[in-house]
A and B are shown apart, each in its own frame.
Chain A
Amino acid sequence: MKTVAEAAPIRTKPGAGVRVLRWLIQLSLLLLFVLLFARIRYGASPSFSDIFFRVDPLVFVVTSIATRTLLAAGLLSLVVVVATLLFGRFFCGFVCPLGTTIDLADVVLGRKSPRATHWRHGKFFTLIFLLVAAIVGASFIGFFDPLAILSRSLALVFYPGASYFVGLVSALRPAAFTETLLALATLLFILGLGLVVPRFWCRNLCPLGGLLGFLSKFSIFKFSFRGECKVCGLCERACPTGAIDSGRRKVDAAECIGCLACLRACPDRTIGLAVKPAPQPVDIGRREALVAIGSALVAAPLARSIIHRNLQGRLLRPPGSVPEPDFLNACIHCGRCMKACPTNGLQPAILESGFDGLWTPRLVPRIGACEKNCNLCGQVCPTAAIRNLPREEKTYARIGTAVVDRSRCLAWEQDRACLVCDEACPYNAIDSRNQTILGTTLGRPFVNEQACVGCGLCESRCPVEGPAAIQVFSMAADRKKTGWYKTPEKARLRSCGDEPQEDVPSGFIQGEN
């Protein structure tokens, strides 16, 4: 057996270990992100599955401002803020799972010139845009936050695919979403930008990158040159974000993601992390900043003044969703609730709630209903757009009211002993009443509006083809930002339901008793 000393020395360039280490950290964290996401399912505890969102300072800041409520879960992101003020944008180079995904895509796309581009101020533009919009009361973070984008891609693109294959060999029912292609197109676009320059998104568009880059200007440790430098330019060529100007021996702290590629490239080790507490000048153009502010001032009122929101009354938000304006400001379109929903009923909205409501969750009962005993969507929501209600409390959080369409109903229109809606209803909100129509007496469904919570089980199970003969509309939806849904009065009404005043079913033959 050879000892370590006897083993052939591994001949590598200095710093190769650093590269491997970085890939290891990046891939492990990406894997962790995916595993935490995959763990969101009924029957598994979702606690801490939102840890990445908790350490995302952009989510914390924008959501807190837009909702005018401190996002307590996001306080953990101050750790990232402090770390960035110490060491710079390491989050982007090591932690961000979208950054890692982009790195992987860039490997596939082939290495392009990492030259600096004029677009690098774009990330400050999106950051200012998001912050100003949040201040004037609209949140667009769902379109720009890297974690939300990746999480949504996992939910709407990868989860349906993965569940299809898992479903081939298990009882898992494959998930499907109405908006998969658009989510896929967004992801492919972001990854495809790597054809221009590596890490295009991170360098030019990512508002989280903008925020951390801005903070990095003030960081205590910065990459810098020291001692004798031959100005060979190897570091500049190795830098994937174009942060280095070797001629002027400068490293732009806002661009540097701490990937350590320069360290590996430098033959003399003259570049490295050093204590440089002096802030670098913030070089966001005044004109660019004004355009960003102006855009936000146009977009925010536009988003908030959409008049066609929920015109059909079919926009059903998950139970415990805060009132709609707050909901739109809190929801970051991460898609976790849609992954969580065991019935696949939570689907991404397209334009039902305005363009800023794209990818927000809505219940589509025809696809899947809200199960009485499940409250998983509220448990996994990272921003409390859907409140984390206890199971029983959730059953009182009304999302709408069922309405029977008698002209389509098998019992009303075709004299069939159907009442599947009554059968499916877990709240005793459908009463079967014997009604005589043209001489035929039969139990026909009526909705008890006081008992109905809009879960949609009736609509999901209605055997009529096409639109169900019983449909849930958002009327009487109970949306609260704080406070409880269960009241003594509601609880009393429900307990009375234990002995419903039902008519004798028409499955019995009258006179044979």
Chain B
Amino acid sequence: MNRRDFIKTGLGIAAASMLPKALFGAEPRKPAGPVVAEARGVRTKLAKGALDLLGGMDKFVKPGDKVCVKPNISFAANRECGATTTAEITRQVVQLCLAAGAARVVIFDHTIQEAALCVEQSGIKAAVVDKDKVSLLTLTKERQFADTPIPNGRELKSARVAKIVLESDKFINLPTAKSHSATGVSLGMKGLMGLIWDRGALHKLNLHQAIADLASVVRPDLTIIDATRALTSGGPGGPGKTVGLNRVIAGIDPVAVDSYTVGITQWYNKSFTGKGVKHIVAAAEMGLGEIDTAKMDIKQATV
């Protein structure tokens, strides 16, 4: 069964929510919930540190896999302000994929501002570490997207989803941690809006529910949040208040990873948890993952 069929049948939800148990169920732990890994410390070691806590990248990427990695480079903003994923963390993730035996890695995004300027400003080309195996793709055309039904969607019934995701063996979502004027925060699930052609359409619906609907069909194999610094106000495009956190948070459960990350810093000078963010709550209500940090298996390391 290829990935596209997998998504179309809508089995993704059930299968993926079982996956954490399948992987980690053998090891008895107090909280039986999903594993969320958090590495802190030196920027150049953060991605590996987080992945090691999850058991290493080779648990996710198999030899010969075609992997697509989606950093958020939607804005041609000052690269240190936090509106975009750093090239450094992207580079580390790409290298981990290659080390795990990936045959091809495609770094891609569907930018909001002009693609060429976003690529230039983000410095993301530095993550193309191997010209033969790694490529950079910006989605600029409708033909790069394919109609995908959302069977369980409450607001959003279908979307045109990036073919690169449908055609890859593995999909790693690599957002930056930032605030968002409409949705409060923009982390993993909000970043999935970068996978669809007509994201404006979501704003005509109940946006929070529509994001959860989208997350019900597009399920990353891994969500890695670049929280080296967080744009805690003025998001998603910045400029705004940028807080240095020197962390990377990773996990399989997209709801858990997002929910946990909400709590690691203040947003708009106020403290929130995942339960205070509408689209994360909507996703949890659809059974897409764990929102309660108390039920997560949180592994931390300083690198």
Same complex for A and B? Answer yes
Chain A contact residues, CB within 8 Å of chain B = 42-43, 167, 171, 173, 342-343, 368, 371-374, 410, 414, 416-420, 422-426, 428, 432, 443, 457, 461-463, 497-500, 502-509, 512-513
Bitwise interface map of B from 242 to 273 toward A, beta carbon under 8 Å scored 1, else 0: 00000000000000000000000001101111
Please determine whether A373 and B182 come into contact, CB atoms closer than 8 angstroms. Answer: no
B140 near A: Cβ within 8 Å? yes
Please determine whether A167 and B141 come into contact, CB atoms closer than 8 angstroms. Answer: yes
Please determine whether A42 and B113 come into contact, CB atoms closer than 8 angstroms. Answer: no
Name, among B117, B179, B182, B237, the residue most crowded by chain A CB atoms within 10 Å (CB to CB): B182
B121 near A: Cβ within 8 Å? yes
Top 7 closest pairs, chain A to chain B, by CB? A463-B200, A512-B276, A507-B184, A507-B183, A418-B203, A419-B182, A508-B184
Bitwise interface map of B from 190 to 212 toward A, beta carbon under 8 Å scored 1, else 0: 00000000001101111110000
Q: Which residue of A lies closest to B74 (CB)?
A: A423
Q: How far is the CB of B244 from chain A (nearest CB, A)?
A: 15
Within the complex, which residue of A371, A500, A513 is in contact with B240, where a contact is CB–CB below 8 Å?
A: A500
Please determine whether B239 and A497 come into contact, CB atoms closer than 8 angstroms. Answer: yes
Q: Which residue of A lies closest to B184 (CB)?
A: A507
Please determine whether A342 and B179 come into contact, CB atoms closer than 8 angstroms. Answer: no
Chain A residues, CB < 8 A from B167? none
Please determine whether A371 and B114 come into contact, CB atoms closer than 8 angstroms. Answer: yes
Chain A residues, CB < 8 A from B137? 171
Please determine whether B239 and A498 come into contact, CB atoms closer than 8 angstroms. Answer: yes
Bitwise interface map of B from 263 to 297 toward A, beta carbon under 8 Å scored 1, else 0: 00001101111011111010000000000000000
Please determine whether B208 and A417 come into contact, CB atoms closer than 8 angstroms. Answer: yes
CA distance A176 to B237 in the complex (A): 28
Q: Which of B115-131 contact A (CB under 8 A)?
A: 115-117, 120-121
Given contacts A373-B76, A463-B203, A502-B181, contact A507 B278 (CB under 8 A): yes
B75 near A: Cβ within 8 Å? yes
B33 near A: Cβ within 8 Å? no
Besides A420-B182, A463-B204, A502-B234, 5 new A-B residue pairs in contact (Cβ under 8 A), listed by A number: A373-B120, A417-B183, A426-B75, A499-B240, A504-B270
Q: How far is the CB of B96 from chain A (nearest CB, A)?
A: 26
B40 near A: Cβ within 8 Å? no
B175 near A: Cβ within 8 Å? no
CA distance A42 to B120 in the complex (A): 10
Please determine whether A513 and B276 come into contact, CB atoms closer than 8 angstroms. Answer: yes
Within the complex, which residue of B120, B182, B237, B241 is in contact with A505, where a contact is CB–CB below 8 Å?
A: B182
Given contacts A42-B117, A410-B204, A499-B241, contact A505 B184 (CB under 8 A): yes
CA distance A465 to B201 in the complex (A): 10
Chain B contact residues, CB within 8 Å of chain A = 75-77, 112-117, 120-121, 137-138, 140-141, 179-185, 200-201, 203-208, 233-234, 236-241, 267-268, 270-273, 275-279, 281
Name, among A42, A368, A414, the residue most crowded by chain B CB atoms within 10 Å (CB to CB): A42
Please determine whether A507 and B279 come into contact, CB atoms closer than 8 angstroms. Answer: yes
Q: How far is the CB of B117 from chain A (nearest CB, A)?
A: 5
CA distance A333 to B94 in the complex (A): 47
Chain B residues, CB < 8 A from A499? 233-234, 240-241
Given contacts A418-B203, A507-B185, A507-B278, contact A502 B268 (CB under 8 A): yes
Please determine whether A371 and B113 come into contact, CB atoms closer than 8 angstroms. Answer: yes
CA distance A463 to B193 in the complex (A): 14
Please determine whether B200 and A417 come into contact, CB atoms closer than 8 angstroms. Answer: no
CA distance A509 to B281 in the complex (A): 10
Of the A-B pairs whose beta carbons lie under 8 Å apart in the complex, a sample of 27, sorted by A's number, is A368-B114, A373-B120, A410-B203, A416-B207, A417-B203, A417-B208, A418-B204, A420-B182, A420-B203, A423-B182, A426-B237, A428-B239, A443-B181, A462-B200, A463-B200, A498-B239, A499-B234, A499-B241, A502-B234, A505-B181, A507-B184, A507-B277, A507-B279, A508-B270, A509-B275, A513-B270, A513-B273
Chain A residues, CB < 8 A from B267? 504, 508
Within the complex, which residue of A432, A507, A512 is in contact with B273, where a contact is CB–CB below 8 Å?
A: A512
Please determine whether A508 and B272 come into contact, CB atoms closer than 8 angstroms. Answer: yes
Chain B residues, CB < 8 A from A428? 234, 238-240
Name, among B203, B236, B268, the residue most crowded by chain A CB atoms within 10 Å (CB to CB): B203
Q: How far is the CB of A145 from chain B (nearest CB, A)?
A: 31
Please determine whether B268 and A423 come into contact, CB atoms closer than 8 angstroms. Answer: no
Chain A residues, CB < 8 A from B208? 417, 507
Given contacts A171-B138, A372-B76, contact A461 B112 (CB under 8 A): yes
Please determine whether A417 and B117 come into contact, CB atoms closer than 8 angstroms. Answer: no
Q: How far is the CB of A376 from chain B (nearest CB, A)?
A: 10
Name, among B113, B206, B208, B267, the residue most crowded by chain A CB atoms within 10 Å (CB to CB): B113
Q: How far is the CB of A416 from chain B (nearest CB, A)?
A: 6
Please determine whether B203 and A508 come into contact, CB atoms closer than 8 angstroms. Answer: no
CA distance A374 to B114 in the complex (A): 10
Chain A residues, CB < 8 A from B234? 428, 498-500, 502
Given contacts A507-B208, A509-B278, contact A426 B77 (CB under 8 A): yes
CA distance A374 to B206 in the complex (A): 35
Q: Which residue of B lies closest to A374 (CB)?
A: B117
CA distance A507 to B200 in the complex (A): 17
Name, among A417, A418, A498, A504, the residue most crowded by chain B CB atoms within 10 Å (CB to CB): A417
Q: How far is the CB of B9 from chain A (nearest CB, A)?
A: 30
Please determine whether A504 and B268 come into contact, CB atoms closer than 8 angstroms. Answer: yes
Q: Which residue of A lies closest to B201 (CB)?
A: A463
Please determine whether B240 and A423 come into contact, CB atoms closer than 8 angstroms. Answer: no
Chain B residues, CB < 8 A from A371? 76, 113-114, 117
Chain A residues, CB < 8 A from B206? 416-417
CA distance A297 to B281 in the complex (A): 72
Chain A residues, CB < 8 A from B180? 423, 505, 507
CA distance A512 to B233 in the complex (A): 18
Q: Which residue of B lies closest to A426 (CB)?
A: B237
Chain A residues, CB < 8 A from B113? 371-372, 424, 426, 457
Q: How far is the CB of B115 from chain A (nearest CB, A)?
A: 7
Please determine whether A342 and B182 come into contact, CB atoms closer than 8 angstroms. Answer: no
Q: How far is the CB of B122 from chain A (nearest CB, A)?
A: 11
Chain A residues, CB < 8 A from B273? 512-513
Q: How far is the CB of B158 from chain A (nearest CB, A)?
A: 17
Q: Which residue of A lies closest to B116 (CB)?
A: A42
Q: How far is the CB of A270 from chain B (nearest CB, A)?
A: 60
Q: Which residue of A lies closest to B144 (CB)?
A: A171
Given contacts A461-B200, A505-B183, contact A423 B236 (CB under 8 A): yes
Please determine whether A43 and B116 come into contact, CB atoms closer than 8 angstroms. Answer: yes
Within the complex, which residue of B76, B120, B200, B272 is in contact with A512, where a contact is CB–CB below 8 Å?
A: B272
CA distance A500 to B238 in the complex (A): 10
CA distance A373 to B116 in the complex (A): 11
Chain B residues, CB < 8 A from A171? 115, 137-138, 140-141
Please determine whether B276 and A422 come into contact, CB atoms closer than 8 angstroms. Answer: no
